C-alpha cells in the first residue's frame, strides 16, 4: 500500500522529482532531463500505476490522492499530499488536474519483439508532442500492435505526449528505428507490407486497399506539413492517399493515421 505523507514545505527535497517542470519541461530526451516518466491527472496516473513503468512517487492534493485510493492499495510508493499552493510552488505552475506521478522509464522492447502483430504504425519526423500523443491514443484505440519511431521523432514519454495520449502511450509498445529508412527493409522481411500515406495525386486511394489481402500491414506517416521524405516514400511498398473534398489538401497527421488504421485494421 502507498504511504500517504503530508508535506507542508515546497522546498522539501523529497519532492525534487516534481520540481520546476517548466524548466525545459524536464524533457527526458534533452540534456538535463530527468529520464523519468511523468503523468498528470487521475486518469493518466491510474494508467501509469497499471503500466509496466515502475512508479517512484506521487504528488497531489488530498482529494485527488483520495480518488486514487484503490489504485494505490497495491503499490509500495510514497504519495505526498500537499496544498494547491505548495503544489504550484513545486511544479512551477498551477496544475488543474491536482495530481502527478513519476516513474522510471525502464528498457524499451527490441524491434524483433514488436514484429509479431498484424498492424504497425511507423512515424517519420513527428516532433510535435501533441500530435505524437494523439497518434498513440488513436493507435491504442484502433488496435495497432506497436508504434515505431523513425528519423526526427520526439520522445513519446515526454509529459505533454503522455497527457495528450490520455496515458495510452504507457501501454502501447514502441521502439526507435535508428537506421532510417534502412530498418524498413527489416520490417518488410518480417512479412509486413508498408503503406505510405501521402496526399500525392498518383497515390492509390485508401478505400481501394483491401485489408484482407495483406496479412501484415505497416502504416507509414510523416510530420504535419512536410510529410514523408522522398527516401521514406521510395522505401514503401505502396503510396496511398485519403481523397478529400473541395480545396482541402491534407489532414492533421493524427487524424489521417486514425482513418488509415481504422480502414486497414479491419479483417
Whether residue 183 has pLDDT greater than 60: yes
Q: Pairing mode, if any, of strands 238-241 and 193-197?
A: parallel
Polymer length in residues for the chain = 267
87-102, pLDDT tens digit by residue?
A: 999 999 988 889 999 9
C-alpha span between 48 and 97 (Å, rounded): 15
The SS3 assignment for 101 reads strand
Q: What is the mean pLDDT of the chain?
A: 92
72-86, pLDDT tens digit by residue?
A: 999 999 999 999 999
DSSP H helices, the chain, are 42-49, 62-67, 69-72, 84-91, 111-114, 129-141, 159-164, 183-189, 230-235, 253-264
pTM of the model: 0.91
C-alpha span between 111 and 107 (Å, rounded): 12
Domains, the chain, ordered by start? 3-104 (3.30.1330.30), 111-264 (3.40.1280.10)
Query: What is residue 30's predicted lDDT score, i.e. its pLDDT?
Result: 46
Q: What is the mean pLDDT of residues 167-174?
A: 96
Residue that the C-alpha cell 529508412 belongs to: 181
Amino acid at each position: 500500500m502507498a504511504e500517504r505523507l503530508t508535506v507542508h514545505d515546497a522546498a522539501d527535497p523529497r519532492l525534487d522529482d516534481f520540481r520546476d517542470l517548466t524548466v525545459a519541461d524536464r524533457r527526458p530526451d534533452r540534456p538535463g532531463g530527468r529520464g523519468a516518466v511523468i503523468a498528470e491527472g487521475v486518469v493518466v496516473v491510474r494508467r501509469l500505476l497499471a503500466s509496466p513503468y515502475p512508479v517512484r512517487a506521487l504528488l497531489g492534493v488530498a482529494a485527488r490522492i483520495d480518488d486514487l485510493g484503490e489504485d494505490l492499495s497495491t503499490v509500495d510508493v510514497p504519495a505526498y499530499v500537499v496544498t494547491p499552493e505548495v503544489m504550484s510552488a513545486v511544479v512551477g505552475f498551477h496544475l488543474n488536474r491536482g495530481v502527478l506521478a513519476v516513474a522510471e522509464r525502464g528498457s524499451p522492447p527490441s524491434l524483433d519483439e514488436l514484429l509479431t502483430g498484424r498492424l504497425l504504425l511507423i512515424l517519420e519526423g513527428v516532433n510535435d508532442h501533441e500530435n505524437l500523443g494523439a497518434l498513440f491514443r488513436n493507435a491504442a484505440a484502433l488496435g495497432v500492435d506497436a508504434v515505431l519511431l523513425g528519423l526526427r521523432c520526439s520522445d513519446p514519454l515526454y509529459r505533454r505526449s503522455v497527457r495528450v495520449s490520455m496515458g495510452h502511450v504507457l501501454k502501447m509498445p514502441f521502439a526507435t528505428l535508428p537506421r532510417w529508412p534502412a530498418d524498413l527493409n527489416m520490417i518488410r522481411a518480417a512479412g509486413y507490407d508498408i503503406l505510405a500515406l501521402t496526399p500525392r495525386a498518383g497515390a492509390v486511394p485508401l478505400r481501394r486497399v483491401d485489408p484482407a489481402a495483406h496479412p501484415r500491414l505497416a502504416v507509414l506517416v510523416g510530420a504535419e506539413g512536410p510529410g514523408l521524405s522522398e527516401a521514406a516514400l521510395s522505401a514503401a511498398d505502396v503510396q496511398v492517399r485519403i481523397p478529400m473534398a473541395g480545396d482541402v489538401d491534407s489532414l492533421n497527421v493524427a487524424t489521417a493515421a486514425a482513418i488509415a488504421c481504422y480502414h486497414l485494421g479491419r479483417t
